[in-house]
Amino acid sequence: IANEVYKYNFPTTPLWPKTIEGITLKEIDKLSFNMILMSPPCQPFTRIGLHGDVSDPRTKSFLYIIDILPRLLRLPKYILLENVKGFETSATRDELIQTLEKCGFKYQEFLLSPTCLGIPNSRLRYFLIARLQAEPFSFQASGQVRLGLEKDSFSMAAKEPNPGSDEDSRQCSLKEAFLFKLETVEEKERKEHQDNDLSVRMLKDFLEDDKEEMSQYFLPSKSLLRYAFLLDVVKPTCRRSTCFTKGYGHYVEGTGSVLQTAEDVQLESVFKFFETLSEEEKLMKLSTLKLRYFTPREIANLQGFHPEFGFPDQVTVRQRYRLLGNSLNVHVVAKLISLLVG
């Protein structure tokens, strides 16, 4: 399906529907390319996965690239890699770094979210850019992962602060705040901080205007009642949203934010004394929020896809969500490419 969408948007670009390891060294040499852009399967490195790393069969294609790179007749000049947070501590990453150094590449690693470019969507990902036989990048810090694009954003990934530490929780518990749903004080304060960050644009800049087409995206009553306390609710004036996953629109919990279209209604007024209400009263209160899913086009907007980017008619809404959930932010990649070739 992803290939069909790609051909629909880039009909003149050659596309090989085959596995990476199915391409021989001779075939790769014939391509005579000067850049590799890659986003290998992330399941072996995800936080909630089995951490199979190099032993996971899904790493095979990436290990093939690492193995074949030193044997190419002409090495590519540029490499850009994307994966999930967690890749930076993997054995696969270590093999990649050893190969890059052996081949004479200068490289820099990053952990970046679109919020660093003013985009109101959290999507933290690992990135690596590498350049062949060149001076070190002006922003390079050997052996360190950069946690942003500012000059002072170098930090060891292993030394990231743990926002869920007992000390932090103890301090937060001393602060007064009205909590609704299943949020901690810390989560509420983090959201308020994000919404007050004027360097990030508002969500309304990324929303569609056609309200007549939105009826299919409103949350059904069953989902409202069952997941009311788990929903991450945002308004068009918010400057944040959570990461949209491939399960968005099908699963509710932890797959992405939902939009409150009734902006004048206060969440606190809906959830206060919520547990004392009857099911009918709960639904009536929740309905006043007019909650809906973000449309695929809106998620594509947040991820930086060009306005002319589209989907073939036969691709369903659910399939569009799955593809977008597996995608990456175009603006972040564009910024890194400009740093890589600049």
N-to-C CA span, the chain: 34
φ, ψ of residue 94 to 5 degrees: the values are -60, -40
What's the sign of the alpha-carbon dihedral 45, 68, 135, 118? negative
How far is CA 204 from its chain centroid? 19
What secondary structure letter does DSSP report for 61?
Answer: H
The active-site residue out of 42, 103, 238, 243 is 42
What is the rounded distance in angstroms from the CA atom of residue 295 to the CA atom of residue 335? 25
Structure tokens at 246: 């491939």
Active site residue 243: no
Q: Name 69's Cβ contacts closer than 8 Å, sequence gap at least 6.
A: 75, 99, 103
What secondary structure letter does DSSP report for 251?
Answer: B
Q: Are 265 and 231 in contact (CB under 8 A)?
A: no
Bridge partner list, 82: 127
Q: Are 90 and 43 in contact (CB under 8 A)?
A: no
Structure tokens at 231: 């929903």
Give me the active site residues, please.
42
